[in-house]
Amino acid sequence: MNLPERKTAILLIRAFYDFYNDNVRPLQLIIRPEPRELDWTRTLFVPVSGPFKKMEVEDFGEFPSVSVLLGDLTQLTSTVAHIGINLPGIAARHGTDIEQLILQMDDVEEVLKYSF
For residue 4, what pLDDT band results from cuts at 50, 70 and 90? very low
In this structure, is residue 2 part of a structural domain? no
Number of other CB atoms surrounding residue 16 within 10 Å: 18
Residue-wise burial string across 34-56, b where 16 or more C-beta atoms lie within 10 A, e elsewhere? eeeebeeeebbbbebeeebeebe
Instruction: Quote the pLDDT of residue 37.
Output: 86
**Residue pLDDT, tens place only, 48-81:** 877 888 877 666 667 788 999 999 999 876 556 8
Q: Among residues 27, 12, 105, which one has the least CA distance to residue 61?
A: 12
Task: Tell me how many domains the chain contains.
Answer: 1
> Averaged over 24-35, what is the pLDDT?
86
* 4 within some domain: no
pTM over 0.85: no
Which of the pair, 71 or 19, is modelled with greater confidence? 71
| 102 part of a folded domain | yes
Judge contact between 14 and 54, C-beta under 8 A.
yes
Q: Average the pLDDT over each of 71-75, 92-96, 99-103, 111-115 and give the range with the smallest value.
A: 111-115
- Is 6 within the bounds of a domain? no
